[in-house]
Structure 1
Amino acid sequence: MLGYQVPSPDEAMLIAGGKNKGSTPFRVVTGHGAFVLPFFRKARFLTLSMMESEVDERCVTRQGIALNVRAVIAFKVGTDEASIVAAGQRFLSDQDQMSVLTGRIFAGHLRSIIGSMTVEEIVTERQKLATEVLDGSKEEMARIGLGVDALQIQSIDDGDLGYIAAMSAPHTAAIQQAAQISQSQARQAAAEAEQESQRAQAEYARQTAIVQAQYKAEVDQAQASAGQAGPLAAAKAQREVLAMQTELAQRNAELRQQQLVAEVVKPAEADAEKTRVLAKADAERMRIQAEAAASHNRVALDRMLIDQLPLIVREAAAGLNGANVNILNGASGLSEMAASLVGQGLTIFDSIRGNLNGSSAEDAGEPDAPEPERPQLGDGAHPRPD
């Protein structure tokens, strides 16, 4: 837009020609734009960036010794409206004058501060010097709208006077002496370390020789023991071999004995047992056959006698033929008489059978069989002779 202007971020726009609300002679605009009426308003720009100024000043100390001091000051226009107005009124037409004026201001304060200090204080306390210069110039710099950010003392020297060098001589000598002492101590320590190393090497060599001697003695002893142990070991081994061979022979003998028992004794015992069992079986068979034969003969004889029993009874009854026999109790007595006749026949049968059995028993080697009981004639029938 025509007449609208915007300052840079590191600039302040100063607008003159209009009425301002405050007591400032112009309007200050920072960070935004503003409309500037052509022909009726005029805008100028003041830098707010960092600037620097160098000081190279010959100063005299409290001791009257001249020193050349070089310093660098970093400064800028303050950001508040009063500082901008103050700086604008002084430096807007020639802004380079800020560096020149700042250098002169700091040169004056530097001379004043150094004049109240000794060379030793200036050399050893540079930060104190810078702080006092800043504090002394702060109010003056603020009046012209400038603020100091930093002051750096770059160098201090006395030219060819040699005071600073002389001042540092004791320290240099002390440092050199300390350095020499340190070097001497270092050399001594190195020598001691070398000696210790040599002693350690000698001790190591001695210990190594002792160990080697001990090792050689142990090896010789081991070899001697091995030489002596050789025949003993051989004899011991031979004895162990003989013992093992003896044990093996005993085991072979036991195995052979077991083999003989298995192959000869056991079969012979088995054959003998077989023969004994067969003989016993044959004897038992013959006894059984003899018993069977004897039993068969008795059965045949008994059958023959039984077949003859009626004839025997008939003959006994014939003996009563014509005899005068009285029957006392009738039919019962007759039955008893018949039974008596049968009993006599059985008695005769048993007698004959006993004789035959006795002969058979004697032939067989067995005891006679007991004679069985036979019925007797009853009381109701008694034969009487005629």
Structure 2
Amino acid sequence: MFGYRVPDPDEAMLISGGRRGLGGAPFRVVTGHGKFVLPVFRKTRFLTLAMCESEVSETCVTRQGIALTVKAVIAFKVGNDHESIVNAGQRFLSDQDQMSVLTGRIFAGHLRSIIGSMTVEEIVTERQKLATEVLETSKTEMAKIGLTVDSLQIQSIDDGKTGYIEAMAAPHKAAIQRQAQIAQAQATQATVEAQQAAARNQAEYARQTAVVQAEFNAQVDRAQAQATQAGPLAQAHAQQEVIAAQTELALRAAELRQQQLVAEIVRPAEAEAERIRVLAVAEAERMRIQAEAAASHDRVALERMIIDQLPQIVKEAASGLQGANVNVLNGADGLGEIAAGLVGQGLTILDSVRKNLRADTAPAAPRPSTEVQVRGKGPDAAAGRVDID
């Protein structure tokens, strides 16, 4: 939008013209948001709030009168508060590079002042103390120009060609060298002692090895002599032990085989035989019961059949008389006697069948011959005789 200005996150926008800023500042300060600025009537400038760096290389004289060249690096920036931005804007807005130059000069002056009150030993051994004192003495002065210091680092301290710092380090170097030489001597002595101990250990090892080897050879010789003397006897004992072991193994194998045969053949065969015997007994009993039942049933059925057929038998016997030349001598009485004979013959047949059923082994009875005599009156009475087989 025309006239609307927004500062960067690391910038402060300074708007001059119009009403004054806070605290009577000649301009208004805007950070973190935009603002509408009237063209022509208002003027907008930007002041950086980013980190800046300044290097210092200053020759300083210590309390001992020894000149030292001290190099340091200062990290600083414009303060974030409104007062610091106003102070820095009034001093550096037109030439913001002057912030680094002025900061370097300020710290160079404080370095000379503080180093002049310290010895070389203190400066060399207590660099952090030197940096802290410089920061503390420069804080007030830097705040007046709207700047804050984040850090101060002493990079190097050089005494030029005087050699004071080197001479100061000489005793320490000598002590270190002496300690190094002592350590080297001790290491050399330790190495020699270790080599000597290793040589002694090696000699002792060789001696012990020789002793052990000699003892081993002696034992081997004794064992060989004993083996030579007791060889046949030992071999016989060994063979006997082998035979005994083989015999025991064979007996054990035979026992196991016998148990296996009993388990696999005898027991199943006995069980099968018992099963067959039980089935045979049961089958015989069943057949006996069926035979008795059948015999009883056949007798009853046969008697019933004969009884049922008795009238037919008599009828058939009577039919055999048809057309026969039969003379009835005594009339009606003769006919009655013939009928009675036929009935009696049927009963005889029935009785014979019953006896055969009761005695299966009894010989069959001869078939009875029934003689019917019919006696009549008159000269032809002899002709009334009838034989029925």
- Shorter chain as denominator, the TM-score bin is 0.5 to 0.7
Q: CA deviation at 1:221?
A: 1.4
Q: Taking structure 1 as reference, are residues 34 and 218 closer, same or farther at Cα in structure 2, changes over 3 Å only? A: same
Q: Does 1:142 align with 2:143?
A: yes
Q: Taking structure 1 as reference, are residues 241 and 42 closer, same or farther at Cα in structure 2, changes over 3 Å only? A: closer
Kindly report which structure 2 residues correspond to 1:106-125, keeping only aligned pairs within 5 A, or say none. 106-125=107-126
Quote the Cα distance in structure 1 between the aligned partners of 2:227 and 2:136. Answer: 100
Quote the Cα distance in structure 2 between the aligned partners of 1:208 and 1:183. Answer: 36
Quote the Cα distance in structure 2 between the aligned partners of 1:239 and 1:69. Answer: 105
Equivalent in the alignment of 2:199:
198
Q: CA deviation at 1:231?
A: 3.0
Aligned partner letter, 1:117: M
Q: Is the 8 A contact 2:21 2:29 kept in 1?
A: no
Kindly provide the CA deviation profile for residues 81-101 of structure 1, in whole angstroms up to 9, marking residues without a partner as x. 110000000000000000000
Equivalent in the alignment of 2:221:
220
Q: How many residues align?
A: 244
Q: Taking structure 1 as reference, are residues 10 and 242 closer, same or farther at Cα in structure 2, changes over 3 Å only? A: closer
When normalised by structure 2's length, the TM-score is 0.60
Q: Does 1:178 align with 2:179?
A: yes
Q: Taking structure 1 as reference, are residues 235 and 19 closer, same or farther at Cα in structure 2, changes over 3 Å only? A: closer
Equivalent in the alignment of 1:51:
52
Aligned partner letter, 2:127: R
Quote the Cα distance in structure 1 between the aligned partners of 2:154 and 2:164. Answer: 19
Kindly report which structure 2 residues correspond to 1:56-135, keeping only aligned pairs within 5 A, or say none. 56-135=57-136
What SS does the corresponding residue of 2:22 show, helix, strand or coil?
Answer: coil
Kindly report which structure 2 residues correspond to 1:269-348, keeping only aligned pairs within 5 A, or say none. none
Equivalent in the alignment of 2:264:
none
Q: Taking structure 1 as reference, are residues 240 and 55 closer, same or farther at Cα in structure 2, changes over 3 Å only? A: closer
When normalised by structure 1's length, the TM-score is 0.61
What SS does the corresponding residue of 2:105 show, helix, strand or coil?
Answer: helix
Q: CA deviation at 1:187?
A: 1.0
Q: Give unpaired runs (5+ residues) of structure 1.
A: 244-386
Runs of 4+ in 1 over 4 A off after TM superposition: 234-243
Q: Does 1:42 align with 2:43?
A: yes
What SS does the corresponding residue of 1:95 show, helix, strand or coil?
Answer: coil
Equivalent in the alignment of 1:189:
190
Q: Taking structure 1 as reference, are residues 208 and 39 closer, same or farther at Cα in structure 2, changes over 3 Å only? A: same
Q: CA deviation at 1:200?
A: 1.7
Larger Rg: 1
Aligned partner letter, 2:36: F
Quote the Cα distance in structure 2 between the aligned partners of 1:85 and 1:21. Answer: 9
Q: Taking structure 1 as reference, are residues 237 and 96 closer, same or farther at Cα in structure 2, changes over 3 Å only? A: closer
Equivalent in the alignment of 1:5:
5
Q: Taking structure 1 as reference, are residues 157 and 241 closer, same or farther at Cα in structure 2, changes over 3 Å only? A: closer
Equivalent in the alignment of 1:160:
161
Quote the Cα distance in structure 2 between the aligned partners of 1:155 and 1:181. Answer: 33
Quote the Cα distance in structure 2 between the aligned partners of 1:81 and 1:165. Answer: 50
Q: CA deviation at 1:63?
A: 0.7
Q: Taking structure 1 as reference, are residues 228 and 34 closer, same or farther at Cα in structure 2, changes over 3 Å only? A: same
Aligned partner letter, 1:12: A
Q: Report the RMSD for the aligned CA atoms in angstroms.
A: 2.1
Aligned partner letter, 1:5: R
Q: CA deviation at 1:160?
A: 0.3
Equivalent in the alignment of 1:210:
211
Quote the Cα distance in structure 2 between the aligned partners of 1:205 and 1:170. Answer: 51
Equivalent in the alignment of 1:292:
none
Q: Taking structure 1 as reference, are residues 12 and 194 closer, same or farther at Cα in structure 2, changes over 3 Å only? A: same
Q: Taking structure 1 as reference, are residues 18 and 181 closer, same or farther at Cα in structure 2, changes over 3 Å only? A: same
Q: Taking structure 1 as reference, are residues 209 and 241 closer, same or farther at Cα in structure 2, changes over 3 Å only? A: closer
Q: Is the 8 A contact 2:21 2:27 kept in 1?
A: no
Q: Taking structure 1 as reference, are residues 71 and 231 closer, same or farther at Cα in structure 2, changes over 3 Å only? A: same
Q: Taking structure 1 as reference, are residues 164 and 211 closer, same or farther at Cα in structure 2, changes over 3 Å only? A: same
Quote the Cα distance in structure 2 between the aligned partners of 1:31 and 1:229. Answer: 112
What SS does the corresponding residue of 1:7 show, helix, strand or coil?
Answer: coil
What SS does the corresponding residue of 1:68 show, helix, strand or coil?
Answer: strand
Quote the Cα distance in structure 1 between the aligned partners of 2:243 and 2:64. Answer: 119
Q: CA deviation at 1:237?
A: 6.5
What SS does the corresponding residue of 1:67 show, helix, strand or coil?
Answer: strand
Quote the Cα distance in structure 1 between the aligned partners of 2:223 and 2:9. Answer: 99
Quote the Cα distance in structure 2 between the aligned partners of 1:131 and 1:20. Answer: 39
Q: Taking structure 1 as reference, are residues 10 and 238 closer, same or farther at Cα in structure 2, changes over 3 Å only? A: closer
Q: CA deviation at 1:20?
A: 3.2
Which stretch has the larger CA shift, 186-195 or 151-160? 186-195
Quote the Cα distance in structure 1 between the aligned partners of 2:207 and 2:163. Answer: 62
Q: CA deviation at 1:22?
A: 2.1
Equivalent in the alignment of 2:269:
none
Which stretch has the larger CA shift, 196-205 or 156-165? 196-205
What SS does the corresponding residue of 1:9 show, helix, strand or coil?
Answer: coil
Quote the Cα distance in structure 2 between the aligned partners of 1:241 and 1:37. Answer: 124
